[in-house]
Amino acid sequence: MDLVGLLASRPLVVGDGSTGRRLMAFGLGQGECPESLNLRDPAAVAQVHREYVEAGADFVITNTLGGTELMLRRHGLGGAVEQVNCAGAEIALRAAAGCAAVLGDVGPTGQLLQPYGELAPEEARSAFAAQAAALSGAGVGAIILETFTSAAELRAALEGAREACRLPLIANLVFSPAPGGRLRTIMGERPEDLVRLAEEFGCLAAGTNCGQGIETMPPLVRQLAEMTDLPIIVQPNAGVPRLVGGRTVYPEDAATFARHLPDLHKAGARIIGGCCGTTAEHVRAIRALADSL
């Protein structure tokens, strides 16, 4: 199954839901490296992917969000970039079993780029290129660059991915409401900065994930859709997390999520999935909307 073909043939493409949060049900501890499960418990990772395929996802995203050397070395896996990412891709491809496309997941390094931090753009670009090369070589159909809060780091990731492969790329930034109703990243960047980057690198789609629940996402999606002809992807959280009894709880259940899905689609979303706190039930709600169109 091919994401390009899905976009060409369907009014709404259905993404998967949260991976890291779901893996906690299989024993992933708070603060542990989710990507390590690609090596030590691949069955758990495969089960999460299968849940989303069975719920109706058109694609699943590999368990490699923190798969750069810069992130993996925090957990003693800095020398296992190719192993971790290839395993993540292979698990997802087997679980999808030809019933869903597989996107290779690339996320931020967890560091600030110069001049705000110590990470040189060249070092970041090299790390992203190594990860994208591993994912591409393992057979994913596209690369999604998501959960970025800095356009400068997203640029480094796009440069690295484009250097490493010719796969379709999807570019996401995390936006939050700012004073005056404006939408900005934590670095102060605007939705038009995302659009400019995505068009410069010839991305297949552009959009946003994380940061917000679904209720506040339609205005951002509408704004992005008015700026570009690129398909807009949106992956909301299951609400803004709360700390309850020492546990992080996401308040938007699938029924609440479902009520706001038509607004997202009407605002211009062509791809809808879920981010933190979303489950197979949230994906079933998206599938139901897609099947009704």
13-30 pLDDT per residue, tens: 999 999 998 999 888 988
Residue 166 neighbours by CB under 8 Å, 6+ apart? none
Domains of the chain are 3-286 (3.20.20.330)
pLDDT tens string 179-196: 777 889 999 999 999 999
Taking alpha carbons only, the member of 11, 15, 52, 119 closest to residue 280 is: 52
The answer, yes or no, to whether the previous bond of 115 is cis (omega within 30 of 0) is yes
Where do runs of H (alpha helix) occur along 58-209? 69-72, 81-96, 121-137, 151-164, 191-200
Model confidence band, residue 48 (pLDDT cutoffs 50, 70, 90): very high
- The residue with tokens 């009704």 is 292
Residue 115 makes CB contacts below 8 A (sequence gap 6+) with none
Q: Identify the pLDDT of residue 203.
A: 98
Strand partners, 101: 59
Residue 250 has a pLDDT of 84
HSE of 222 in the Cβ direction (CA atoms, 13 Å)? 9
What does the alpha-carbon distance between residue 31 and residue 94 come to, in Å, rounded to a whole number? Answer: 27
